[in-house]
Amino acid sequence: MATTEERIVNGVNVSGLEDAVEAISDDPDVGMFTFRAETEWENALKSVTTIDEFDQSGETIHTREFTLQGDEPEQILGERTGPNAVELLLGALGSCLSVGYAANAAHMGIELDDLRFEMEGDVDLRGFLGISEDVRPGYESITCTVYVNADATEKELAELRERVEATSPLVDAITNEVPLETHMVVE
């Protein structure tokens, strides 16, 4: 049974969130999504990624088109016309955590006054450049600091953090091995 009265906390429609949880609990197919991104190399170390559709329950949903510019800093032979891929990963993590904190806080009845994330990660280019097999090509480590100002106790905020980190798709993807299958099509 759908909730009729709309309840908004932190700009999140809690009633709608509860309805979504109920709908997905009743029919898990409603919660099945396939997200897509298409990246095209432009020149030098520049690329552009386009995102404009996803599938929900096997149905393609066309949305507004988003583009993300990618490049490298001058120190890595780029022109710095956009963030590089490892920086975009940090931004994606911050965005995912922001959604998780806002939605879970709203569901818990915690009103957020301020919320921000600072992420940083260490990369040793010897791995990426193939100089050393002993150095991984990606992040050696990532640190995320959450700054929160809310009408909640430290215990409630600790519970909020635990909920968010336990259910964050990007925390999961970063901290657990995700199967990756690649294909090459020669045109």
Q: What is the pLDDT of residues 64-88, one digit of tens each?
A: 999 999 999 999 999 999 999 999 9
For residue 63, what pLDDT is reported?
A: 95
Predicted pLDDT of residue 68: 97
Q: Tell me what pLDDT residue 176 has.
A: 96
What pLDDT, on the 0 to 100 scale, is given for residue 2?
53
Residue 5 binned pLDDT confidence (cut-offs 50, 70, 90): confident
Determine the pLDDT at residue 4: 58
Q: Residue 36 pLDDT > 50, yes or no?
A: yes
Largest CA distance in the chain: 61
Mean pLDDT of the 41-52 span: 97
Can you give the three-state secondary structure of the chain, one letter per residue? Answer: CCCCCCCEECCEEHHHHHHHHHHHHHCHHHHCEEECCEEEEEECCEEEEEEEEEEECCEEEEEEEEEEEECCCHHHCCCCCCCCHHHHHHHHHHHHHHHHHHHHHHHHCCCEEEEEEEEEEEECHHHHCCCCCCCCCCEEEEEEEEEEEECCCHHHHHHHHHHHHHHCHHHHHHHCCCCCCCCCCCC
Q: pLDDT band at residue 111, thresholds of 50, 70 and 90? A: very high
62 has pLDDT over 50: yes
pLDDT at 152 over 90: yes
In this predicted structure, what is the pLDDT of residue 151?
Answer: 92
Q: Which residue bears the tokens 């988003």?
A: 66
pTM of the predicted model, to two decimals?
A: 0.91
Indicate whether 131 pLDDT > 60. yes
Query: What share of the chain has pLDDT > 90, as a percent?
Result: 96
* Amino acid 6: pLDDT: 86
Mean pLDDT of 99-126: 97
pLDDT given at position 3: 46
Average pLDDT over residues 143-167: 98
Q: How confident is the model at residue 146 (pLDDT cuts 50, 70, 90)?
A: very high
